[in-house]
Amino acid sequence: MSCMVKICGINSEDALLAAMSAGADALGYVFFPPSPRHISLNGASTLTERVPDSILKVGLFVDAGDEALKTAIHAARLDVLQLHGSEDPARVREIRDTFGLRTMKAIAISTADDLNRARDIYDGVADFLLFDAKPPKDSALPGGNAVSFDWTLLTGRTWKSDWMLAGGLTPDNVAEAVHISQAPWVDVSSGVERTKGVKDARKINAFVRAAKGY
């Protein structure tokens, strides 16, 4: 099964060109300073000039205020706002209505109950749901921790929102993850890095090829 691919944590020209050359469908900019993948507004603006309209530009935020969102949207010409904090459904709706852009709500998954909660609270509210593994207890980052969850929890489920699978995905396991979960999208960051925060072009290419079944 082939699926769409988002490469998150794009913070350099080399990473951008590698992702676009490999055939990524979406690029993620992390606007969260504690992350090793954080990118400045100027950096995102410069990179975005090279991105065609056919590739989605996604901004990742953690409990950001409207002014921070507005500034980043303008700088990076974002298409999708990825909300990776404690944003409740009302805040997700407010952001979508205020800025007129698609929203993506990240959901930390460990058990089936977490998916049930996502269905009851966020499904149909956010345009995308991003299912990521719960971070380790000692992690300061809400995502990008190279941790996966049981993909069979997603098998056979249907959603009103479009959705992505994330968490611990690599070029070696993404094909299996897609086969088991039937994910229409996959999202990767640490799984295609040479060192923390630095993307590896060969890993990006291998990931996209595996995800898309080439």
Q: What is the pairing mode between strands 102-109 and 80-83? A: parallel
Q: Which domain holds residue 102?
A: 4-212
Mean pLDDT, residues 146-171: 93
Banded pLDDT at 136 (limits 50, 70, 90): low
**Residue 134 has what pLDDT?**
82
Partners of residue 93 on adjacent β-strands: none
Q: What is the pairing mode between strands 4-8 and 185-188? A: parallel
Provide the sign of the torsion angle of the four alpha carbons 190, 195, 197, 202, taken in this order. negative
Residue 125 to residue 205: CA distance in whole angstroms: 33
Q: Please give the tally of structural domains in the chain.
A: 1
pLDDT at 95 over 60: yes
Phi, psi of 151 (to 5 degrees): -65, -25
Q: What is the pairing mode between strands 198-199 and 185-188? A: unpaired
**Residue 146 has what pLDDT?**
62
Banded pLDDT at 121 (limits 50, 70, 90): very high
**Residue 108 has what pLDDT?**
94
**Residue 2 has what pLDDT?**
72
Residue 112, domain CATH: 3.20.20.70
Task: Return the residue matching tokens 């995502």.
Answer: 143
Mean pLDDT, residues 87-114: 97
Contact status, residue 171 vs residue 178, Cβ threshold 8 Å: no
Q: What distance lies between CA 188 and its chain's CA centroid?
A: 7
Residue 44 to residue 24: CA distance in whole angstroms: 17
Q: Which residues contact 126 (CB under 8 A, 6 or more apart)?
A: 83, 92, 96, 103, 104, 105, 161
Mean pLDDT, residues 31-46: 97
Q: Model-level pTM? A: 0.93
**Residue 179 has what pLDDT?**
95
pLDDT at 132 over 80: yes
SS3 state of residue 23: coil
Please identify every residue annotated as catalytic.
Answer: 8, 132
Helix axis angle for 174-181 and 201-212, nearest 10°, is 30
CB burial of residue 134 (10 Å; 0-12, 13-18, 19+) = middle
Mean pLDDT, residues 176-189: 96
pLDDT at 142 over 70: no
pLDDT at 140 over 60: no
Structure tokens belonging to residue 119:
């269905």
Q: Which residues contact 183 (CB under 8 A, 6 or more apart)?
A: 3, 154, 163, 164, 165, 177
pLDDT at 147 over 80: no
Tell me the percentage of the chain whose pLDDT exceeds 70: 94
Banded pLDDT at 148 (limits 50, 70, 90): confident
Q: What letter does residue 21 receive in the DSSP assignment?
A: H
